[in-house]
Amino acid sequence: MEKKDLIQKLNWFYFLEKNQVELYTAQSQQVEDLYIKKALQRVAAVEQGHVENIARKIRKLGGTPSAIGEKIAPLTGSTAGYITGQAGLIALLEANIKLEEKAMKDYKDFLLRVGKDEELFNILWDHLIDEDLHTAWFANKLAELKAQNAQLKR
């Protein structure tokens, strides 16, 4: 990949990761359940690390990190109000899983195209695995809530 394309692509991830930080931070403030709140704060901190890794790499390549692109509307931190009920939590987790899966797909696609830049290769792998772990946690919590829901309905 040409340097220019590389920087452009990295800026896409910079945008995506910044969105994730914003989203999970907002969610952590909206959720009442303490365990989920703490998990979201922790995930947001990991996403912040991703933002910084990507920004560093962009600068190293001679570019400037810039969050280009449209915000992913229902998935950004703009959703107002408290999320208390189980239905709200389920919707939140489902949206997060979708976003993480999108990030994973983009990281995988990018990994196949980066070529010989070992540093970049390692960054992308680290992020991909982190997103996979986030997805697993969200999916696990989602299954738990759904099981509780089914119990309540009995």
Could you say which of 15, 28, 36, 47 contacts Fe ion (CB under 5 A)?
Answer: 47
Q: Cβ distance 57 to 123 under 8 Å? A: yes
Q: At which residue do the structure tokens 């990991």 appear?
A: 46
22 binds Fe ion (CB under 5 A): no
Cα distance between residue 48 and residue 18, in whole Å: 7
Q: Does 131 bind Fe ion (CB under 5 A)?
A: yes
CB 47 within 8 A of CB 17: yes
| Site size with Fe ion, rule: CB under 5 A | 5
Taking CB under 5 A as the binding criterion, the range among 34-42, 44-52, 64-72, 108-116 that sits at the site for Fe ion is 44-52
Nearest 5°: phi and psi at 31?
-90, 140
Residue 91 and residue 146 in contact, taking contact as beta carbons nearer than 8 Å: no
The verdict on 50 binding Fe ion (CB under 5 A) reads: yes
Residue 105 CB, shortest distance to Fe ion, in Å, is 13
Nearest-angstrom CA–CA distance, 95 and 17: 15
Q: How far is the CB of 46 from Fe ion (least distance, A)?
A: 7
List the beta bridge partners of residue 13. Answer: none
The residue with tokens 């993480």 is 100
> What is the smallest separation between the CB atom of 48 and Fe ion, expressed in angstroms?
9
134 lies in the site for Fe ion, by CB under 5 A = yes
| Residue 68: CB minimum distance to Fe ion, A | 17
Looking at beta carbons only, is 87 or 129 nearer to Fe ion? 129
Q: Which residues contribute to the site for Fe ion (CB under 5 A)?
A: 17, 47, 50, 131, 134
